[in-house]
Structure 1
Amino acid sequence: MHIRPTPGRTRGTRPRPTARLTVALLGAAALLVSACSPGSPTASAGDTTQAALAALPRATPSALSSYYTQQLHWRSCGSPGFQCATMKAPLDYGTPGAGDVRLAVTRKQATGKGKPIGSLLINPGGPGGSAIDYVQSYAGIGYPADVRARYDIVGMDPRGVARSEPVECLDGRRMDQYAQTDLTPDNQQERDALVAADKKFDESCGAHSARLLRYVSTVEAARDMDILRAVLGDPKLNYVGASYGTFLGATYAGLFPDRVGRMVLDGAMDPSIDARTLNLDQTAGFETAFQAFSKDCVRHSDCPLGGKGTTPAQVGDHLKAFFRKLDAHPIPTGDTNGRKLDEALATTGVIAAMYDQGEWEQLREALTSAMKENDGASLLALSDSYYERDASGHYSNLMMANPAVNCLDLPPAFTGPDQVQQALPAFEKASPVFGDTLAWAALSCAYWPVKATGVPHRIEAKGAAPIVVVGTTRDPATPYRWAESLSRQLSSGRLLTYVGDGHTAYGRGSTCIDTAINTYLLHGTPPTTGKRCS
């Protein structure tokens, strides 16, 4: 989830998946078929009257044959052992001859002596997370040795992302200004300033990326994945997707159910809900994570939000009071560009640490520095990491690609500030700490220059091989009930549960989870439905 402009990613000690908050706060999804429009009744996950994503014809259209038969020219790149290539796909699948988009691909070939299984495509989420960076910095060297021995580990940056003709919007200086926009307006003047900032960002994306913006939906990215499957020589797609990557993988399964191989969807999203419900669910998810952090914090003598006996509600009150103080009086950070820690940046920094309980100690220390020493440097560093802003002031493409996909995949959660104002009580009930910020952050797609092409829908993928859906019970960015819902929608879904904290579960320390997934990837044996790990 991104605080600005549209949620949906993760962060941590190793590169991790990105979640999709379709508000203006980080993440992680795409949709097709009929369903809810803004302001219409929310479709429930189990609504059997809601349309399902329809599979494409099994035969490859002749107009696409040149794409499916292209040859990739591999070259050494990045870290030792990795290769890179460029693949072409039609910019518009409706008119394949009207122009191409060039997509960057990386792989590390299988290293073991056992019989190769094929390629394993990895997507870390976002939308907007670079699969190439993730594969080269983690999956290609950090996935279990047995998995790397039997699979070529492959990553492809989706269209509009990182090395694949990236969406471009604001430069670094203007992104700094946008990231500091007040997301808790107290009066009409501040509301107008927030709307103006969103409009400026959206118009900038339209001006700098006009060719791409209509063609970066999740459905199109899923179709690109099928071309990649074919040119890699794999009859079936083997895939691990995290966070938003679960929506991308599920979309592939819905479009090409007969081509699904071994598929793991970790930190699952629910394609059947509308943008407002998605944001409200995520808001509640971050509150759940904050409650867990609060209980842990007060057990430590250095907790700046209260001591032993302080309730999570009181911890939240103390943090909100600190945010209000920053709203009126930002504090120094020592930043060379003169940035101070204001309420928006501090909130982003706190939310960033909710993705991984391993960062709670760092958050305690950052809050102590800010609240007791008037030094906002550490919280600013958390915020910058979340936004993928480097020390020179350059932002990665993540914050541009994220809304480009999200705003195309679903009609906006809100069409104007009056709707946000009306929804504030529900968001503040879902999270007394983050509710107002996340409600206003959800306004950003209201002014997007391209109309949404997707809508909420179920994904059934009838006829697909078993698909393992992984949910973490206290996941802040992809609430557990989304995994429950997706596993029910998929005709071959198998729910695997991790009882714990943090965003996603595979490769994060649970031997039970890792063994179940590795067994499935290596031997094709999925975990039993309802298996739980802790």
Structure 2
Amino acid sequence: MNALIAALGLVGALIVAPEPPAELKWAPCPAEVNTGTFAVQCATVPVPLDYSDSGGTQIELMISRIASTNPEKRRGILMFNPGGPGGTGLDQPAFLAGKGLPATVLDSYDLIGMDTRGVGHSSPVSCGFTADDAYWANVPPYAVDEAAVTAQSAIAAEVAQRCAANDTGGRLRHLSTANMARDLDRIRAALGEKKAGFYGASYGSALGAAYVSLFPDTTDRIVLDSNLAGTHLDRNSLIRFAHGFEETFPDFAKWVAARHASYGLGHTPAQVRKTYFTIAERLDRAPAPDGTNGAHFRFGTFFGLYSEVQYGNTARLWQSLLSSGPAAPAAAAATPHPADNALTVFLAVTCNDVDWPEDLATYQKDVAEARERYPMFGAAAANVLPCAHWKYEPSEPPVKVDDQGPAKVLMLQNRHDPVTPAINAELLRAAFGQRARLVTADGSGHGVYVIGGNACALNLTTSYLVDGKLPARDTTCRA
């Protein structure tokens, strides 16, 4: 099996489908795409469902464009991916432009957003999730003991079975990072460009790493922000969510302690940390009236560490849970899950990219170890995903990152990041060798360029995108 997969991966990495000759037809984007105040148009690009049969079934991908209005300064195209996998990206150029993307970048590029294959307006897929499903997004629930791991495994198995049952068109097996990277090159060709730049954040960093690795000759300036450790999310990367939580939580705790008079959660960071465990363990025993349990609370705090702008809401949530009474019965609601599509794509790509352990004992052992090593969140990050029961085996190995090729990758990383900790960037940087430079912002949260607020990182990235000035060496940007 491993030899077959390796052979398929070698062949797949060499496949470059012919460039599509059809001229794109630009039109207003669908009404639900948030274009802000910018002139955004959308078009569709056909790509093969299966790149090993590029003349077979085609699917359509929707892309968006904010065109440069300065022909003298226009360099080419800059494609965007906001993360996920499963996140819609049609509005990503307008989102970043609205947050202050410099005018020099807007002049230099046509900004190209997209829904990647399976997402939103790009031949969407569905596992049929409903609002009452006891399933979690990209992090499984915190397991308080071994029995909780067993229970989660049963839920994960049902989810995997449902995804397989809903996959009547056989599309899920073709959702992978490698195929999405191939799609990027198809989009470049459809736009009539010899090369394409790329900005990817979070999981988008993995997609960008795969893209520049598969297509070193047709990629231009590449920016990878808030990094995974390679070209896919695997079990080690998931467990490192707990590492990121432990590293980032002290920033939140310090912020909250300085505001004890307002929130009453602890005079010192140590007291705030103690409050965290007090709330979590209380909710483990008896959920709040709205049904919030210890796993919900831990996940909500994890998400609250993504940005300082979320600290106040997270602190207020803690306040409400400290004073909550006994739980009230929860009402069922068999309505479609609003994130059904995103969850489906996340699972398909994550489970298709790499082999995941299948035996329950491995997860029980890992959860027990992670609970000791990362007491705040480890027993969530090490718990069972549906990938343990996924129908399909990977059709090829993950795209390999190596140090062969031109130096064109700028990596951005906050020193403290709850979901993509700095160790990820260090591992990916080492794999790229002299092909990349790493800019570490002395800050906290998920996301550096434009939204992170670090002037040095903003300036270095803009200079690279506009003028091609890659830093001579890895750089630390002070807060």
Smaller-chain TM-score range? 0.7 to 0.9
CA distance in 2, matches of 1:74, 1:141: 25
Residue 42 of structure 2 aligns to a residue whose secondary structure is: strand
Q: Is residue 2:188 matched to residue 1:244? A: no
**CA drift at 1:182:** 5.8
**CA drift at 1:505:** 0.8
Correspondence for 2:441: 498
How far does the alpha carbon of each residue in 1:431-462 deviate from its partner, in whole angstroms, 9 at most, with x for none? 2111112211x443101111133546641262
Equivalence map 1:50-449=2 (5 Å): 56-57=13-14, 64-65=17-18, 67-77=19-29, 78=31, 79=35, 81-112=39-70, 114-139=72-97, 142-175=100-133, 177-179=134-136, 183-186=142-145, 188=147, 190-210=148-168, 211-271=170-230, 275-302=234-261, 306-309=265-268, 311=270, 314-333=271-290, 340-374=291-325, 394-395=338-339, 397-412=341-356, 414-440=357-383, 442-449=384-391
Correspondence for 1:459: 401
CA distance in 2, matches of 1:274, 1:122: 19
**CA drift at 1:362:** 1.5
TM-score (norm 1): 0.79
Structure 1 alignment gaps of length 5 or more? 1-31, 36-51, 334-339, 377-390
Residue 433 of structure 1 aligns to a residue whose secondary structure is: coil
Correspondence for 2:418: 476
Asked whether the equivalents of residues 355 and 503 of structure 1 are also in contact (C-alpha less than 8 Å), the reply is yes
**CA drift at 1:493:** 0.7
Structure 1 residue runs of 4 or more that deviate by more than 6 Å after TM superposition? 52-55
What amino acid does structure 1 have at the position aligned with 2:26? W
Structure 1 pair 466/76, CA: closer, same or farther in 2 (3 Å)?
same
CA distance in 1, matches of 2:102, 2:61: 27
How far does the alpha carbon of each residue in 1:401-421 deviate from its partner, in whole angstroms, 9 at most, with x for none? 111111111211x32332112
What amino acid does structure 1 have at the position aligned with 2:417? D
Structure 1 pair 375/397, CA: closer, same or farther in 2 (3 Å)?
farther
**CA drift at 1:358:** 2.0
Asked whether the equivalents of residues 177 and 231 of structure 2 are also in contact (C-alpha less than 8 Å), the reply is no
How far does the alpha carbon of each residue in 1:102-154 deviate from its partner, in whole angstroms, 9 at most, with x for none? 11111111133642111110111111111113234444774222211221110
**CA drift at 1:273:** 8.9
CA distance in 2, matches of 1:100, 1:331: 49
CA distance in 2, matches of 1:97, 1:272: 26
Asked whether the equivalents of residues 497 and 531 of structure 1 are also in contact (C-alpha less than 8 Å), the reply is yes
Residue 178 of structure 1 aligns to a residue whose secondary structure is: coil
CA distance in 2, matches of 1:248, 1:321: 39
Count of residues in Structure 1 that have an aligned counterpart in Structure 2: 459
**CA drift at 1:307:** 2.3
TM-score (norm 2): 0.87
Structure 1 pair 392/103, CA: closer, same or farther in 2 (3 Å)?
closer
Residue 119 of structure 2 aligns to a residue whose secondary structure is: coil
CA distance in 2, matches of 1:493, 1:360: 33
CA distance in 1, matches of 2:49, 2:68: 31
Structure 2 alignment gaps of length 5 or more? 328-334
**CA drift at 1:265:** 0.7
Residue 101 of structure 1 aligns to a residue whose secondary structure is: strand
CA distance in 2, matches of 1:226, 1:431: 40
Structure 1 pair 156/375, CA: closer, same or farther in 2 (3 Å)?
farther
Identity %: 30
CA distance in 2, matches of 1:430, 1:472: 22
Structure 1 pair 279/178, CA: closer, same or farther in 2 (3 Å)?
closer
Correspondence for 1:27: none
Structure 1 pair 76/443, CA: closer, same or farther in 2 (3 Å)?
closer
Match of 1:520 among 433, 448, 464: 464
**CA drift at 1:291:** 2.4
What amino acid does structure 2 have at the position aligned with 1:280? I
Structure 1 pair 277/34, CA: closer, same or farther in 2 (3 Å)?
farther
CA distance in 2, matches of 1:164, 1:457: 23
